Amino acid sequence: MLIPTQPLKALAILVLSANFLLCASSAAQADTALAMHGAPKYAQDFQHFDYVNPKAPKGGTLNLGVIGSFNSLNPFLIKGVPAKGLRLVYQSLLSRSRDEPFTLYANLAQAFEIAPDRRWITFTIDERARFSNGKPVTIDDVYFSFETLRTKGRPNHRNYYNQVAKAEKLNGNQIRFTFKGEKIWELPLIIGLMPIFSADFFDKIPFSETSLVPPIGSGPYLVEAIDPGRQIQYRRNPEFWGADLPHNRGRYNIDLISYDYFRDRDIALEAFKSGQLDVWFETDPGQWKELQALATENANLNSHIVPMKIPAPMLSVAFNTRRPLFSDPKIREALITAFDFYWINKSLFHGLYQRTRSYFQSSELAATGLPSPQEIALLKPFSKDLDPRLFTQAYQLPESDGSGRDRTLLRLAKQKFKEAGFGYQDGLMINPDTKQPVSIEILVKAAEEIRLLSSYQKSLKRLGIDLRLRLMDSAGYQNRLNQYDYDMVVTDWGQSLSPGNEQEFYWSKNAAKTEGTRNYPGIESDAVDHLINIIRDARDRETLVHATRALDRVLLWGQYGIPLYHVNEQWLVTSPTVRLPTQPSFWGTRRDLWWQAAY
C-alpha cells in the first residue's frame, strides 16, 4: 500500500530577485562562482544554464522504473539500500553546472570568500534559504551536516571532510572551513557540494540508523508517499525557496515524480511498453534497435540519441586482488586475454559497441600511444613496481576476428597461465599454490550480465576453469560489494572532465582497506597514490591532464579488470508528452531538465 507522508506546513515566502547577492568583507572579495581551473563559463548576471529550456512549463507526472528494492530514505549511509531520487530532496551550498569541467555557482550559500591559496573558504548562507517545513537554513545546520557526515557518513564523506582542520561559525550567517595539509586545491569545491540537512530532523531520527521516515530537506521536491521496497513518489515543492535562482530556471519542472521498483529488467521494460513508465534508458544495442523500430511504428513513443562529452564510464569485470588467485597480475592478464569482446559485440550487440580502452575513455585525459616525457617523469620513481611495458608500449587489448571460431585468444591465455605456473590434471586447470582446480565466481546483479558472461564462462571451461555466475538481489549484492566479498564483479567507474579527490575513493591504498569504497579491485600502489595526490592538487589544467594520463596507464597495465564496452551517447525512449531540451549538457540529459507537454 502506498503510504502518504505527513503533510508539510505551507511556507509563505517571497522569492526575491534571481540576481545573487554579494556580501562585503574585509578579508576578500565575495563571489558567486568557483571554478577548479580557469574562469567560470557563466557571468555573474547569467539568467540560466545553456542546456535548459527556461520557458519549460511546470506540471505533469513522470513515472520512472528502477530494478531492485529499497529499505532506507537516508542516502548518506553505507547501511541499507536507499530509494532512488532522494537527492531531489537535498541542496548543497553551491551547485554544479553540467557544461563545464568543474564549476560551482551560488546556491544555499549566496556568496563565498576564498583565500588565494584556497587554504580556507567562508560561505554566506542565503537568508531566503528554507527547509521544506518552513524553517530557515542556518549555519548550525551546515555545521551539523559537516560534523555528521565527517563522523558517521559514507567513507568518501568521512575522507573528504576529515581534511578540514577547523569549521567556525562566524557572526550572523557565515561559516568558514579551514583546511589542513598541502593537498587542498579541490577541497573548497568538495565542501561546496556538501549536502545540507536539517539538524532538527536528525535530532529526532538517528542519522546512523536506516529509516523510512520522509526526510526534511531544502531541495525542490518532497517525499510524497512510499510503498517500502516498491514505490516512492516525490512532489515538487511549490514553495521551493530557490526556484528562481538562475541555475534552477528551466529545471525541476515535473510536479510528481514516481519511481516504481521491478524484480528484473524484462518486467520493467514490459511495463514501459504498456505505458506504465514514461522514460526508458537503454544500454543494450539489440534492444535499442527494437525500441527504435517500435517508436517509429508507435505514435505514443519517441526515441532520442543524446550525445555526451564526459569520459565514457569504464565498465569492467573487476578482479578482487585481495583474493590470492588474483594477486598475480599475470593471472589477471591471462583472464583478460580469454575474453572475446569482438564475438560478443558482433553476436549479442549488433556491433554497436566500442571496446573501452581507458579509464577516461573519449576524453583528453585518456592515455594514448607511448607515454609523454611529462608522464615518464611522474612514473619513473616507481618503475620497479610497474609493468616495464608501460614505458615502451602503448596498452593494447588482445583482438579476435569476431567469428567465434578464432581460438587465438584461448591459446594466448593458456600460454600466459602456463608461464604463471598453472598446469592441468584430468582436463582441469590446477592452481600450483593450492593444488586444487581453479574455480572462480563472478558476482552479478542483473540477468543481462549473465547473458553477457555466458560465452566467457564457456571460454574458461575450455581452459579447464570452472566459472560460476552468482546473481544476487539488490540488498545482498550491495552488502557483498561493500565488504568486498567476491572473486570478480561487474561494475563501472564514471569520470568527469575534472578528476580530483574522488580518485582516492576509487583507487587509493586507504580505500582498499575501507569498507564501502569504490576500490573494488583492492589496488594498493605507491604510484597510484602519488598520482592521485598530484591530480587532487593540480593548480592548472596541463598538470591535471598529464597526471591523469599517467594514472590511466598504471591502472590499465595493472590489469585490474576486463574492460568491456561503451557508447558516448545516451539512448532513450519516452512517452510523447515528455520533452527534452534541444541542447544537451556534457552529461547528456537528466530528469531535472525534462518537462511535460500536452498531447
CATH number of residue 430's parent domain: 3.10.105.10
Residues 296 and 355 in one domain: no
Question: Crossing angle, helix 408-419 and helix 447-462, to 10 degrees?
Answer: 70
**Angstrom distances, CA of residue 525 to CA of 358, 368, 370, 504, 507:** 18, 22, 21, 12, 9
The reply to whether 342 falls in a domain is yes
Residues 524 and 415 in one domain: yes
Residues 561 and 575 in one domain: no
The reply to whether 375 falls in a domain is yes
Which residue ranges of the chain lie beneath pLDDT 50?
1, 3-28, 599
Residues 576 and 555 in one domain: no
Residues 466 and 542 in one domain: yes
User: What pLDDT does residue 27 have?
Assistant: 39
Residues 597 and 448 in one domain: no
Q: Is residue 546 within 8 Å of residue 378, measured between CB atoms?
A: yes
Number of domains, the chain: 2
Residues 437 and 350 in one domain: yes
**Which range of residues forms the domain containing residue 588?**
265-307+569-599
Residues 301 and 320 in one domain: no
The reply to whether 132 falls in a domain is no
| Phi, psi (degrees; rounded to nearest 5) at 267 | -65, -40
CA dihedral of 364, 370, 371, 372, whole degrees rounded to 10: -80
Q: Mean pLDDT score of the chain, rounded to an integer?
A: 92
The reply to whether 554 falls in a domain is yes
| Phi, psi (degrees; rounded to nearest 5) at 520 | -60, -35
The reply to whether 343 falls in a domain is yes
Residues 511 and 595 in one domain: no
| Residue 599 to residue 576: CA distance in whole angstroms | 7
Side chain identity at residue 311, one-letter code: P
User: What pLDDT does residue 6 have?
Assistant: 40
Q: Exposed e or buried b for every residue in 396-417, given b needs 16+ CB within 10 A?
A: eebebebeeeeeebbebbbebb
Q: Is residue 474 within 8 Å of residue 66, measured between CB atoms?
A: no
Residues 355 and 287 in one domain: no
Residues 562 and 480 in one domain: yes
The reply to whether 585 falls in a domain is yes
The reply to whether 241 falls in a domain is no
CA-based nearest residue to 114, from 41, 30, 184: 30
pLDDT in tens, 229-284: 999 999 999 999 999 999 999 999 999 999 999 998 999 999 999 999 999 999 88
Residues 368 and 272 in one domain: no
The reply to whether 415 falls in a domain is yes
> For 489, what's the count of Cα atoms within 13 Å in the CB-facing half-sphere?
25
